[in-house]
Amino acid sequence: MPTVAEQLRVARETQNLPISRVAEATNIKTDYLRALESGHYETFSAPIYVKGFVRTYATHLRLKVPELLAQLEADLAQSKKFTAAPPLTSGSKNPIDFAALQLSKVNWQVALPILGILVLLVGIVWGINACRSRATEDPLSRLGKGIYQPAGSGGESLPLPTNPAPRR
């Protein structure tokens, strides 16, 4: 039984259609059409593109699309590139990824009100403790000495001027 690529190429050649005309009619690049006709499915980044292009190409050539797609599934299963799904993330994990994952699991509609209530309770307890400590504290304990002391002298006497001021 011929492969999907051979069936597409033979059908196009029997209808005497140049690949450029098929490309214009299907809006598929000629490079992609050549890749489909030669069986080079690795050109495409994902199997969904291969299936979509084959479906469009087969419909344009008036081939039996369901049978062709079933055979294409078998061909793609043998391909190394399209056998397993590609990983969605890189293999390296760090603490930020772990923290982001854990935070994404939190139900924030419940967590935020609870967090707000806790902050409010902590504020109330702190305020009550501050009021109690002020009530039992001596109000004058925070004041310094009440005597003025200039920096240069002890404050017992004032220096006399050496030049008396002129009298009038």
pTM for the model: 0.51
Instruction: Please state, in angstroms and rounded to a whole number, the distance separating the CA atoms of residues 120 and 115.
Output: 9
Rounded percentage of the chain residues whose pLDDT exceeds 70: 85
Considering the domain architecture, whether residues 104 and 52 belong to the same structural domain is answered as: no
Does residue 87 lie within any of the structural domains?
no
pLDDT at 113: 95
Considering the domain architecture, whether residues 59 and 121 belong to the same structural domain is answered as: no
Domain holding 123, by residue range, is 98-136
Number of domains in the chain: 2
Q: Which residues contact 26 (CB under 8 A, 6 or more apart)?
A: 33, 56, 57, 60
Per-residue pLDDT of the chain (168 residues), as tens digits, is 788 899 999 999 999 999 999 999 999 999 999 999 998 888 888 889 999 999 999 999 999 999 999 999 888 888 777 776 667 776 777 888 888 888 899 999 999 999 999 999 999 999 999 998 888 887 777 777 776 665 665 556 766 777 877 777
Does residue 31 lie within any of the structural domains?
yes
Does residue 38 lie within any of the structural domains?
yes
Q: What per-residue string of b and e applies to 73-100 under the rule 16 or more CB within 10 Å gives b? A: eebbeeeeebeeeeeeeeeeeeeeeeee
Q: CA quadruple 12, 18, 22, 25: dihedral positive or negative? A: negative
Considering the domain architecture, whether residues 24 and 73 belong to the same structural domain is answered as: yes
Instruction: Please state, in angstroms and rounded to a whole number, the distance separating the CA atoms of residues 75 and 44.
Output: 14
pLDDT at 166: 76
pLDDT at 168: 72
CA angle, residues 50, 21, 64, in degrees to nearest 5: 50
Considering the domain architecture, whether residues 122 and 56 belong to the same structural domain is answered as: no
